[in-house]
Structure 1
Amino acid sequence: MKKWMIYGANGYTGELIAREAVKRGFSPILAGRSADKIRPLAEELSLAFQAFPLDGQAANSLKDIDLVLHCAGPFEQTSKPMIQACLQAQTHYLDITGEISVFEYTHSQHMYAVEKDIILCSGVGFDVIPTDCTALKLKEELPDAIELSLGFDSDSGVSPGTFKTMIQGLGSSSMHRKNGVLEPVALGSQHRTIDFGRGSRSAMGIPWGDVSTAFYTTGIPNISTWIPMSKSKVQSARLMKVASPLFASDWVKEKLQKQVEQRVKGPNDEFRANTPAYIWGEARNAEGVVKVVRIQTANVYDLTVYGALDIVQRLLKEKIDGGYYTPAGLFGSSLVEKLPGSGAFEVDTFYPR
């Protein structure tokens, strides 16, 4: 029987995954940095648990673990030591990050993963399964695409961990990929109108993980990522550039994160059940042919639970060559369509006049 671990199981999303895993008959080992925080959930679910820090000795705690699902953010700080521990222990590594820097680091470890014959796959949740699958679907529909835009619309609510990740990014710019290279772009400078799936809305470019992952999935050299944003808020984002040194300070971030710990709780079951997500993608080739793909999925957090567990289950059963993968790179564009709460891709084609 193969063993797998949820590290960060005491966090909002980690706990959701642990509870759903037990419902499905799985027995993951729960883990985190604090035994006091992990033990109550482990005892409630009748699961084994471990407590260990992400330091140079972390690999010792993974010796008999076949796969780690890493859920302890902020991932910009925690993913690198966990990836290194997994490489040392020859343990498959998955995480639920949405951070561009983490995707880039995970990709940079490809040859080490090949050598150790393990899978490294960041972003096995809402970040970035649905958009990554949309990117691959568009590549299949328009193989010669040179431009790719991806985005989503959701009233999903925000967990404490997601809020903390957002705070870590305060004061930074947006990001896109141009001619194959990641480039910063002023927040609020990218704006357009998009129908994500429930009517046309003003939208703004954001530094979403797909500017990293979609390039490795599709090879399309120009990629931007979008969310709905009113014109007034786009203007406010531009003005925030003036205050970015203040927002970027460690003092401000620390104060805000303490507020999150005291006041923010993740969305409840009823809220999640009534707030689906709408995924949109657009690809364009040199001749001006445009393909647009849309799909509706479960709530952001529910999709993370379903997607992460689907990939865990498949990796524990299937033999796949070691290396770095994106979610769609592992299991194809149809991965998202097979998850609970997902519809089917809808594809539209527009030709130049």
Structure 2
Amino acid sequence: MAGGTRSGSLVRNLSKRVLILGGYGTFGSRIAQLLADRDDIQLIIAGHNRSRAESFASSLPGLAEGLRLERDSVNLPAQLKALHLDLLIHCAGPFQGQDYHVAEACIRSGIPYIDISDDRRFVCDFHRLSAEAERAGVTLVSGASSVPGLSSAVLRELRTEFGGIDAVEIDIAPAHRIARGLATVRAGFESLGREFPILRAGEWRETYTGDQLRKTRLAHPVGTRWVCNFDVPDLELWPRALPDLRHARFGTGVEPRTLQLGLAACARLARHNLPATQPWLARLGHRLAARWPGGSAHGGMQIHIGGRDRDGRPLGYRWQVLGLNGDGPWIPAAPAAALARKILDGNYQAPGARACWELLDLREILLEMNRFSIISACERIDTSSGTPLMPALQS
């Protein structure tokens, strides 16, 4: 145990015990730091590397402990039950291709569960666990991250302004001068060239990760960035929630431009079954990106929503959040921290398994980011010129 002096038995009686699996990684560590501001939470940092878990736990204020825990352990339910947990937050990605072993272990041990997955199939099929979770009286939530946790909170905030929504486009442009987790890089790199469906002109059409290389513009100081198509849960969840939706697209990219062009080229090579997305190349890319010159410490996310107001007139909004000076990675960490507080405080108890879709108010997420160089803004798109609200989607 690290980071405190009170007896473990006393703390167990007085504190909510929260285990963060992958808790010393890029996002897990930030979720831990966000929750460490509460004296009534005891954090348990877990992962396959015990020394890293213990070292990070010792850096946290208050009492925390670090331990070794494998996400695919055959006796994971028994291990979790022995820890007497009040919540488990699963951050041990990549989630692409991962099964629901951790969530199922939480059902069997009676522990509420949150994960930060942004994998489309993992999040969108998560409801398959719902019947078992309901019988056990356990709350399970998947996707408490930028997408769909934050993106759906923005929709929840703005949807009352609309009579109908027919188009949405989301772009995420991370900073270059930040620490990147290998799991995040692997997830993106290994998916290059992979086909997935998107809603375009009211029909489902195939695209692939790395397709439609294009420019997007965020507010200063982020500015113009290059992005390309990427598969996320929102591409399926937004059409489920909005019957009038005809267009949905998600784009992400890296900087400098040379790196983004290289990834687009890898995607095209992968389409021809050439070995451009092997795991060893992801590891090489992870190292190269950390050393590549150029780029900035600023990044951001924007959401365009287009449709009609209640009088049938064209209406559009653009919402942005910018992470400055290297603080961007706190943005995807914030939804999980906000949801964790709601569950621990008894303000969200819903046995079953579901995506993190409109479960949080936008203000709850933004409150987690108050101490960082993160700004957000929402603007109504001017329609007086008669131009399309969302030209990138209307073309």
Question: Do Structure 1 and Structure 2 share a fold, with TM-score over 0.5?
Answer: yes
Question: What residue number does 2:144 align with?
Answer: 124
**CA distance 1:315–1:79, shift in 2 (3 Å):** farther
Please say if residues 150 and 335 of structure 2, whose CA atoms lie closer than 8 Å, have aligned partners that are also in contact.
no
| Post-superposition CA distance 1:288-347 (Å, at most 9, x none) | 824122222434311233332222111111242223444452123444443423434333
Q: How far did 1:168 drift?
A: 2.8
The answer to whether the aligner puts 1:347 opposite 2:372 as a matched pair is no
Structure 1 residues 51, 314: closer, same or farther in 2, change over 3 A?
same
Identity over aligned residues, as a percent?
16
Does structure 2 retain, via aligned residues, the 8 Å contact 1:99–1:209?
yes
SS at match of 1:296: strand
Q: Are 2:167 and 2:245, in contact at CA under 8 Å, matched by a contact in 1?
A: yes
For residues 173-252 of structure 1, the aligned pairs below 5 Å read 173=195, 175-177=197-199, 184-187=206-209, 189-190=211-212, 194-198=216-220, 204-215=228-239, 218=242, 221-222=245-246, 223-227=248-252, 237=264, 240-244=267-271, 245-247=273-275
Q: Give, in angstroms, the shift of residue 6 of structure 1.
A: 0.3
CA distance in structure 2 between the aligned counterparts of 1:144 and 1:295, rounded to whole angstroms: 21
| Secondary structure at 1:343 match in 2 | strand
Q: Secondary structure at the match of 1:208?
A: coil
Give the residue type in structure 2 aligned to 1:134.
Answer: V
Higher mean displacement: 231-240 or 5-14:
231-240
Deviations 1:262-295 (A, max 9, x none): 67769xxxx99x5252422222359682412222
On the 8 A contact 2:144/2:150 being kept in 1, the answer is no
Name which of 310, 328, 335 aligns with 1:300: 328
Deviation at 1:80, TM superposition (A): 1.4
1:9 to 2:3 alignment? no
Distance 2:265 2:340 in 1: 40
Instruction: Flag the 1:117–1:11 CA change in 2: closer, same or farther, 3 A.
Output: same
Q: Is the 8 A contact 1:190 1:204 kept in 2?
A: yes
Relative distance call for 1:228 and 1:206 in structure 2 (3 A) is: same
Q: Which has the larger share of helix?
A: 1
- Report the counterpart of residue 8 of structure 2 in structure 1: none
Deviations 1:125-155, CA, capped at 9 Å, x for gaps: 2344332223334433224223322223342
The alignment status of 1:89 with 2:118, answered yes or no, reads: no
For structure 2, list consecutive stretches of 5 or more residues without a partner in the other structure.
1-14, 387-395
**Alignment partner of 1:161 out of 176, 183, 208:** 183
Amino acid at match of 2:304: G
TM (normalized to structure 2)? 0.72
* 1:159-195 deviation per Cα after TM superposition (whole angstroms, max 9, x unaligned): 3221121133133135424699975314565466654
Specify the alignment match of 1:28 in structure 2: 43
CA distance in 2, matches of 1:151, 1:38: 33
Query: Could you state the TM-score of these two structures normalised by the residue count of structure 1?
Result: 0.80
> Once structures 1 and 2 are overlaid, which stretch shifts more, 278-287 or 13-22?
278-287
The corresponding residue for 1:331 is 360
2:228–2:252: 8 Å Cα contact kept in structure 1? Answer: yes
Q: Residue 239 of structure 1: CA displacement?
A: 8.0
Give the SS at the match of 2:186: helix
Q: Which consecutive residues of structure 1, in runs of 5 or more, have no partner in the other structure?
A: none
Aligned length: 345
Secondary structure of the 1:48 match is strand
- 2:167 maps to 147
Letter in 2 for 1:171: G
Q: Aligned pair in 2 of structure 1 residues 144, 57: CA closer, same or farther (>3 Å)?
A: same
